Amino acid sequence: MAGGLIGLVLTGSADRIGVEPFFMELIAGMEEALAPAGATVLLLVVPDLAAELATYRRWAGDRTVAAVVVVNLVHDDVRPAHVAGLGLPAVLAGRHPGPFAKVITDDAGAMTTAIETLSALGHRVVGRVSGPAELVHTAERTTAIRAAAARCGVAVTIVEGDYSAGGGVRGLRALLASEPRPTAIVFDNDVMAVAAEQELSRSGIAVPGQVSLLACDDSPLCELAVPPLSALSTDVHEHGLILGRAVLDLVRGEPGRDHRGPAVSIRQRESTGVAPLTV
């Protein structure tokens, strides 16, 4: 496998993906795992699913890559069967019913931790700006946050976002206009959370005095925000390491299996506090 390439295709706009610390840290972890075997990540950003499928066909046809990592799994995802049909070894980043190598993170546990933490601070109305609804892990988070909220006596309102800064602001505005208005908001990534916090600052709404904020995907963006954002922290670098090791196992001929992703913890910073007495 010396000198081999591991393909990773990201679908979306290059400018949005370029500002997401998550993928850069994930790739760094993959590279660390792959480097001793002389392998490296071949990253390509494409606009849509058709272009992603075409990329896999091209890579399989000219044997560009030794294997691929498939991310952002959606319901009824056609990509795993597509790459299997092409003869490309694949590791999936997420849950899938098929017999593939997979690295599975505890998205449900993250949302449970979020609700339990906010409930302990007295929040009884919580908003969430989710990722795209078609993603499998978005649905896992939605099911978990509703179940945890029911156990804790918390009302949850969810609006769909798209992981962009603009999506975070739009989601925030929708939640602030809802009734009853949430006293805490969970964002499915760091970029949306940071943009929303900036919008609250411009609007004169105090964080956490009037509304607490909690981000998924802890990153330097969260630490540098004003005030610093509390975050559900999954070691993304470790996630990349696990993906890289799973790929190496696969290309060495080991059967595909489930790999457990890194644990989820919460890093409480200044953006979360006790629920206000009035909203």
Rounded mean pLDDT, 138-157 = 97
Place of tokens 């075997």: 37
**Are 54 and 90 found together in one domain?**
yes
Q: Are 5 and 27 in contact (CB under 8 A)?
A: no
**Are 144 and 206 found together in one domain?**
yes
Q: What is the CATH number of the domain that holds 39?
A: 3.40.50.2300
Rounded mean pLDDT, 242-260 = 93
What's the total number of domains in the chain? 2
**Are 43 and 101 found together in one domain?**
yes
Contacts of 228 (CB under 8 A, 6+ apart): 222, 269, 270, 271
Contacts of 153 (CB under 8 A, 6+ apart): 119, 124
Give 174-218 pLDDT, tens digit per residue. 999 999 999 999 999 999 999 999 999 999 999 999 999 999 988
**Are 95 and 185 found together in one domain?**
no
**Are 120 and 54 found together in one domain?**
no
**Are 89 and 146 found together in one domain?**
no
Per DSSP, the residues of 186-206 read EESSHHHHHHHHHHHHHHT--
**Are 99 and 134 found together in one domain?**
no
Among 19-28, 37-46, 76-85, which stretch is predicted with the lowest mean pLDDT?
19-28
Give 52-63 pLDDT, tens digit per residue. 999 999 999 999
Domain boundary (212, 233, 254) is at 233
Phi, psi of 60 (to 5 degrees): -70, -40
Given a cut of 60, whether residue 19 has pLDDT beyond it is no
Average of per-residue pLDDT values in the chain: 93
Q: Give me the percent of the chain exceeding a pLDDT of 70.
A: 96
Given a cut of 80, whether residue 147 has pLDDT beyond it is yes
Give 108-140 pLDDT, tens digit per residue. 999 999 999 999 999 999 999 999 999 999 999
43-66 b/e with 16+ CB inside 10 Å = b? eebbeeeeebbebbeebbeeeebb
